[in-house]
Chains A and B, each alone.
Chain A
């Protein structure tokens, strides 16, 4: 165990804050260690974002595997984990999706206690607006499917939407609000804290988190993985998990196989902070925009993906314009806001817009990717299922339907709500 775990401030609590206040906060330790890599680990995970760190955490917690390194080319949580709009929900149409996203939501509900780290989970309720007749039928169908899956969602009327959210304009004219799919348990969490909390818990279990360590090659022999070559030297491993979102194709090429993935830029933006006016999360898929208000008061707005391959984390301006133009018809008060920041992330889109948790053509290499525009909400469930896959070499019930073989067999998990946006 690293020293920080056994020190007086190893466990965060009100008593720890009081104790540190007495000594002018000089006793706080770094939340996770930054060791040099060893020569060999049982499991090497490429990518210290939410999914990679969650996989490491559940490998340790559920399977007792702690000889694990999580290597990251940039900084921890600096990719899509720190670039999304932090929406959490599980109102999916297809059973495999509902199962893994609802597992994630259930884990999120207790994650602050589990990790002893406040991830600021805020189940404020999530509303998906139906603004066309097609969406009305689609969301009603999802409500019925969710009832069969044991996921609590309901269909709400325009009047109730107006009551919940006074800033909304339900009359259109172009996109009238015809109703909505409401998930009361949905909400948001602090995205950085999810990565930081998992990292701290992994470090406390003795796992190594190695930042600024880019993978430059993957060594295989007789169809089995041997080692990864990195900026900090060669690291041998028994098992390798590639959990690198938009860069999954680059890693797969190093290992000698291709993925059904294309990397696209997805953008988000935040406004100047204003007084509380929106206490639920809104998704408007017809107009390709989603909206929530952060604890600081900023309106957090997400848009659609670009249509072309892109690794630059910069998207096209006209997508920002389209998103904002559509949203201000439904939320006229937004037209008076100044936007503070805009950014992009590289999302990994699969053919059926559903994720991949799978073994690969190379022995003992596993991939977890393809979460596309909606990976944040899945982090705990994804890590839980991926840990099982890596530990046992076989997928458990949560991951079984998300294998690469579904593309050969034509057994897609075709989410009607997954229109390449707001997934």
Chain B
């Protein structure tokens, strides 16, 4: 059974305790965006065979949303991390690289990375 450690309450939660929430780090497009951007935000998914970043909710625990890095081809879990980050954290990237040296992130770090506090505001 899939086991993910909730980064908030620290509990190693079994799959039946968790609610899957799909691809993580989607950029939100709303009113004022083009039809194509809005469609991509709502429906288009990377759906990779390999490293996948996804949202989970500790539904039958603390109730909080968090992120997980997982390999969809092997079911290996690389780690979980806070949802208050625009990209996977450096620790997660390092954990993935430890197992997949050739893996490349497909995002570019913003020059001044948005601090988590401002996202919560």
Chain B window 70-82, contacts with chain A (Cβ cutoff 8 Å), 1 for yes, 0 for no: 1011110000000
Binding site for A on B (CB under 8 A): 1-2, 15-16, 19-20, 22-23, 35-36, 39-40, 42-49, 52, 54, 70, 72-75
> In the complex, what residues of B have CB within 8 A of residue A250's CB?
47-49
> In the complex, what residues of A have CB within 8 A of residue B45's CB?
249, 258-262
Instruction: Decide if A15 is an interface residue (CB 8 Å cutoff).
Output: no
Distance of A306 Cα from B74 Cα, bound (Å)? 15
Contact of A258 among B16, B22, B40, B42 (CB under 8 A): B40
Chain A window 306-346, contacts with chain B (Cβ cutoff 8 Å), 1 for yes, 0 for no: 11111110101110000000000000000000000000000
Instruction: Decide if A75 is an interface residue (CB 8 Å cutoff).
Output: no
Chain A interface size, under 10 / 10 to 19 / 20 to 34 / 35 or more? 20 to 34
Q: Do B22 and A316 have beta carbons less than 8 Å apart?
A: no
> In the complex, what residues of B have CB within 8 A of residue A350's CB?
43
When C-beta atoms are compared, the residue in chain B nearest to A309 turns out to be B72
What 3 A-B pairs come out closest when comparing CB atoms?
A: A260-B43, A249-B47, A307-B20
Distance of A306 Cα from B15 Cα, bound (Å)? 10
Instruction: Decide if A63 is an interface residue (CB 8 Å cutoff).
Output: no
Distance of A267 Cα from B16 Cα, bound (Å)? 17
Give 5 A-B contacts (CB < 8 Å), ordered by A residue.
Answer: A250-B49, A258-B45, A260-B39, A260-B43, A318-B15
When C-beta atoms are compared, the residue in chain B nearest to A250 turns out to be B49
Contact of A408 among B20, B36, B47, B52 (CB under 8 A): B36
When C-beta atoms are compared, the residue in chain A nearest to B68 turns out to be A308
Instruction: Decide if A407 is an interface residue (CB 8 Å cutoff).
Output: yes
Q: Given A250-B48, A259-B44, 4 more contacts at CB 8 Å?
A: A259-B45, A309-B52, A310-B75, A408-B36
When C-beta atoms are compared, the residue in chain A nearest to B35 turns out to be A408
**Cβ of A369 to closest chain B Cβ, rounded Å:** 11
When C-beta atoms are compared, the residue in chain B nearest to A249 turns out to be B47
Label chain B's interface by main secondary structure: mixed
Q: Do B16 and A318 have beta carbons less than 8 Å apart?
A: yes
Q: Do A312 and B47 have beta carbons less than 8 Å apart?
A: no
Indicate whether A249 sits within 8 Å of B48 (C-beta atoms), given known contacts A310-B75, A311-B72: yes
Distance of A262 Cα from B20 Cα, bound (Å)? 13
Distance of A46 Cα from B54 Cα, bound (Å)? 29
Indicate whether A407 sits within 8 Å of B43 (C-beta atoms), given known contacts A307-B20, A311-B72, A317-B1: yes
Q: Do B22 and A262 have beta carbons less than 8 Å apart?
A: yes
Instruction: Decide if A351 is an interface residue (CB 8 Å cutoff).
Output: yes
Distance of A357 Cα from B39 Cα, bound (Å)? 18
When C-beta atoms are compared, the residue in chain B nearest to A348 turns out to be B47
Distance of A317 Cα from B14 Cα, bound (Å)? 12
Instruction: Decide if A247 is an interface residue (CB 8 Å cutoff).
Output: yes
Chain A window 242-264, contacts with chain B (Cβ cutoff 8 Å), 1 for yes, 0 for no: 00000101100100001111110
When C-beta atoms are compared, the residue in chain A nearest to B45 turns out to be A262
Distance of A83 Cα from B41 Cα, bound (Å)? 32
**Cβ of B34 to closest chain A Cβ, rounded Å:** 10
> In the complex, what residues of A have CB within 8 A of residue B54's CB?
308-309
Q: Do B40 and A316 have beta carbons less than 8 Å apart?
A: no
Of the listed residues B19, B47, B70, the one surrounded by the most CB atoms of chain A closer than 10 A to its CB is: B47
Q: Which of A257-280 contact B (CB under 8 A)?
A: 258-263
Contact of B47 among A306, A309, A316, A317 (CB under 8 A): A309
